[in-house]
Structure 1
Amino acid sequence: MVIKSDKFWDKTADKYAKKAVPDEKIYQKKLAETQAFLSKDMHILEFGCGTGSTAIEHAPYVRKVEAIDISQKMIDIGRSRAEKAGVNNLTFTLGTLEDFNAKPASLDAVLGLNVIHLVPNRTALIAEVARILKPGGVFVSSTGCLGNSYFRFLMLLMPLLKLLKLAPDIFVIRESELVSEIKQAGFSIERQWHHGPQGITVFIIAKKR
């Protein structure tokens, strides 16, 4: 199993875990909107789960949560947090969504939060989400879409930042492209709104048709 970018995230895991949520009000809104689509009988998955904070928040609302990440250090912190929180229906696994290889139409909801813009082939990623979701299943994403903002010019610095190991791979996405790709994969958009500087972060809840 080949895990890409794991060294960067392993290195930053402790700092990441101590970081406060940038906007607590927005975070709570995302949690509430997601939980409105959850129910106690659901089996859900979060890929790119980081240190597990959001997976832990959603665990009381569903039957089972699977959380996966490419960083072993992130996974270790997540397991420790879940244990301290007394959450026993949450399982952490090292790897990518492709590595996880869930059975077709086996999951009720899939979450990809602050991760799609870090993936080189998002079309394949979204197709995999569609494959493993049941009909009527929910796909929740929060994605940095730099394509229509001046922040895209910062990408000129990315080769240097990556060389200095100060940043992971980041890909420029336009919101319209992302929405189109989600729809083409067989989803209908249930929620779509923006936040952050220039509204660059796009929160989407989509349902598999």
Structure 2
Amino acid sequence: MSTTNDADFWDRTSRRYAVAAIADPAGYERTLDRTRALLEPHARVLELGCGTGTTALKLAGGVQSYLATDISTEMIAIAKEKHAADPRPALSFRVATAEMLTPEVEQFDAVLGFNYLHLVRDLPGTLRRIHALLRAEGLFITKTPCVGDMNPLIRLVLLPAMRAIGKAPHANVFKEAELSQLISAAGFDILVNERHATKGNEICPYIVARRR
């Protein structure tokens, strides 16, 4: 399995993903509000794992520039369709991962990764690359499921079975405490750790970290 497999999975599921309802609309809106409050009007923002661009279209209007990226060509194609119908001058979309971007060329005031970190292949390496892509004291803002803290049946039975039949992507299994430790070890100071969910018992912390 590789990032090529990951891209293929998301390409296959892109159209279904695009029309799926947000599971927790109130929690999602809280995340948007908290993030908007942290992004300065002059900010250059990078979003990793943007999917079909829903969050990018909601946040891009308040910043200087907003680059939204995803590993899936089909996801980005849908995002561009949505952008064409609802233009945001500051917003652009690109097929890319954190590892495909060059820190010496592109530097950002904030990097966003929503429902992203549990899907990357090399979490410590990705966090180090995010650190390198940020300007001094830039913000990394993330919210991602901590599968290690969830029901053991999910991580030990359901997830492996779904992956085996191609119904689930690669997913990292880590606990919230482990995620915080990895973010700190990559050169960040954690400023905020919140829970935004309004229903269900999914452990998906909203973390704001500043580049040291």
3-state SS, counterpart of residue 86 of structure 1: coil
Unaligned runs of 5+ in 1: none
CA distance change for structure 1 residues 138 and 129 in 2, over 3 Å: closer, same or farther? same
Residue 12 of structure 2 is aligned to residue 8 of structure 1:
no
Q: Does 1:99 align with 2:100?
A: yes
Identity %: 32
Does residue 53 (structure 1) correspond to residue 70 (structure 2)? The answer is: no
Q: Which amino acid aligns with 1:76?
A: A
1:49-68 alpha-carbon deviations (Å, 9 max, x no partner): 10011111111111111111
Verify: 1:208 aligned to 2:201, yes or no: no
Q: Secondary structure at the match of 1:28?
A: helix
Q: Taking structure 1 as reference, are residues 49 and 191 closer, same or farther at Cα in structure 2, changes over 3 Å only?
A: same
Secondary structure of the equivalent of 1:135? strand
Deviation at 1:199, TM superposition (A): 4.2
Query: 1:104 touches 1:133 (CA, 8 Å); kept in 2?
Result: no
State whether structure 2 residue 136 is matched by structure 1 residue 131.
no
Q: Is the 8 A contact 1:148 1:174 kept in 2?
A: yes
SS state at 1:201 partner: coil
CA distance, structure 2, for counterparts of residue 42 and residue 74 of structure 1: 25
Q: Give 1:47 deviation, angstroms.
A: 0.8
Q: CA deviation at 1:120?
A: 2.2
**TM-score (norm. length: structure 2):** 0.91
Give the stretch that moved more between structures: 89-98 or 155-164: 155-164
TM-score (norm: length of structure 1): 0.92
Please say which of residues 159-168 and 16-25 is displaced more in the overlay: 159-168
Aligned length: 208
Structure 2: runs of 5+ lacking an equivalent: none
Offset from partner CA, 1:164-202 (integer Å, 9 cap, x none): 211101111110011011112221222212236334111
**CA root-mean-square deviation:** 1.8
